[in-house]
Amino acid sequence: MRKYLSIIILALIIGGLIYIYPNFEWSAPVVDIKLESDKVGVKPFNIEIRDKGKGLKSVSVVLAHEKGETVLVDKTYPEGIKGDNLEITLDPKESGIKGGPSVLRVTAVDGSKFNFLSGNKTRVTKNITLDLTPPKVDVISTEHYVNHGGSGLVVYKASEDTIKSGIQVGDYFFPGYKGYFPDENVYLGFFAYPYDLEQGAKIAVVAQDGTGNAKTKGLFYRIRDINYRKSDIKVSEWFIDNVIVPLAGDSAGADNKELFLEVNNKLRKENDKKIREVGTNTKDELRWQGAFSQLSNSQVEANFADERTYIYKEEPIDKQYHLGYDLAVTKRYPIEAANNGVVVYADELGIYGNTVILDHGMGIATLYGHMSSIDVSVGDEVKKKDIMGRTGQTGLAAGDHLHYGVYINGVAVRPVEWWDGKWIKDNIINKIENAQAEFGDQGGEGSQSEN
């Protein structure tokens, strides 16, 4: 009897070992807290957990701070999950977390049967400093009167911990630039109120520090409505054959309507995306001075933000906005730089044809399109009235003219404002001079006092 009992016990032990052994491993999970520094704010950070054995069973993340402990993560896993990448975002409003010295504690347990079936455990702690105080922002400039589709300037001061700041107009963001004044914490922020943005959009100065804390300062402004033109443009077969087809590229089998939309809609969007890309790559200094100049002896043939409905065979097939002025003089007329700047683009650009883009600093750029020839190269510095090439009818142009556009951080604005010395004085120079009186004048190159 005892012999049979011993055999049964031995069989149970062997069976248990056969069951437990595959689940029995002692390789603990690995925890990696991915922080750029020991200072933590509302900016998300990641915690990576990996287990090369049976996989994760549970993970908890706890923050011990002045007011107690806050559980940030408490998570269990189905069998076989080898790892997880947790994104941690602190929300002091919900959890009552306060700033100051704190401890981050991460505990990970795997699915092993080791340690009396409770699994291998890894606990990692990290001492951190919670920084939950947003930067300080003060708006210095006053009287922000803006035309719908026009430009504006805000002078503001942000605290030293600010790493990113600018002007938020609806969903558009326009970065601010420092370095103009001796006080490095004073910024110039040029912005646009886009032509296609409804009136009433919020304008605010925003500032963010290195740990993600942000401050928003509302801006008082008044906006003046502008009545932009609407027109119908008939698309002829000649125009499609001689202008559209050369721009359409490989569009075998497409009918004339499809060809037109390929260029006037799709290619236009691609070109405008490129303009935004170039327009955001700007110098952090003002290179221009005084009012911008209109092409000498030119007449305006098409205005900014004209709404154009294109008619083909009596059918409306597309609607677009003309984001600049068409300026005409005579064929192959010399094109002058509207102000001092640096050439940041000098090449073919789809519907704009041969194009030059000048960076005037701090997000301000001018565009010169449909050129027959380009006589400057990327990197060239030009002065106001320098000749950069000649007018033409390249791109989506039916006749010889210059397409002239003004942009702020890649967003098209009304060129006529920048031609107007009084507008420059009232909306830009006066604001800069008032700030100079308070914070000091940089002087030298970049001074905006008109001669």
Phi-psi region of 141 (alpha: psi -120 to 50; beta: other; left: phi over 0): beta
Q: Has residue 311 got a pLDDT over 90? A: yes
**24-130 against 230-414: fold identical:** no
Tell me the CATH number for domain 137-226. 2.60.40.10
At CA 207, angle to CA 203 and CA 209, rounded to 5?
Answer: 160
Do the Cβ atoms of 375 and 392 come closer than 8 Å? no
pLDDT of residue 59: 96
Q: Has residue 10 got a pLDDT over 80? A: no
* Mean pLDDT for the chain overall: 89
Rounded to an integer, the average pLDDT of 406-433 is 96
pLDDT band at 99 (very low <50, low <70, confident <90, very high): confident
pLDDT of residue 95: 64
Q: Has residue 21 got a pLDDT over 50? A: no
What is the tens place of the pLDDT at every residue in 255-278? 899 999 999 999 999 999 999 999
pLDDT band at 67 (very low <50, low <70, confident <90, very high): confident
Homologous superfamily (CATH) of 230-414 is: Glucose Permease (Domain IIA) (2.70.70.10)
What is the tens place of the pLDDT at every residue in 397-412? 989 999 999 999 999 9
Phi, psi of 153 (to 5 degrees): -135, 135
Classified as helix, coil or strand, 262 is helix
Q: Where are the domains of the chain?
A: 24-130, 137-226, 230-414
What is the tens place of the pLDDT at every residue in 177-232? 998 999 999 999 999 999 999 888 899 999 999 999 999 999 888 999 999 999 99
Going across the sheet that includes 177-178, the strands are 137-139, 151-158, 186-192, 177-178
pLDDT band at 451 (very low <50, low <70, confident <90, very high): very low
pLDDT band at 14 (very low <50, low <70, confident <90, very high): very low
Helix (H) or strand (E) holding 237: helix 237-239
Phi, psi of 242 (to 5 degrees): -100, -20
pLDDT band at 121 (very low <50, low <70, confident <90, very high): very high
What is the tens place of the pLDDT at every residue in 234-261? 999 999 999 999 998 776 568 899 999 9
Between CA 109 and CA 31 the distance in angstroms is 11
Q: Has residue 25 got a pLDDT over 70? A: no
pLDDT of residue 124: 96
Tell me the CATH number of domain 24-130, given options 2.60.40.730, 3.40.980.10, 3.90.1170.50, 3.90.1150.10.
2.60.40.730
What is the tens place of the pLDDT at every residue in 30-43? 999 999 899 999 99
Taking alpha carbons only, the member of 306, 275, 291, 307 closest to residue 416 is: 291
pLDDT of residue 448: 58
pLDDT band at 114 (very low <50, low <70, confident <90, very high): low
Rounded to an integer, the average pLDDT of 2-11 is 55
pLDDT band at 427 (very low <50, low <70, confident <90, very high): very high
Ranking 27-41, 104-118, 156-170, 346-360 by mean pLDDT, the lowest is: 104-118
pLDDT of residue 443: 47
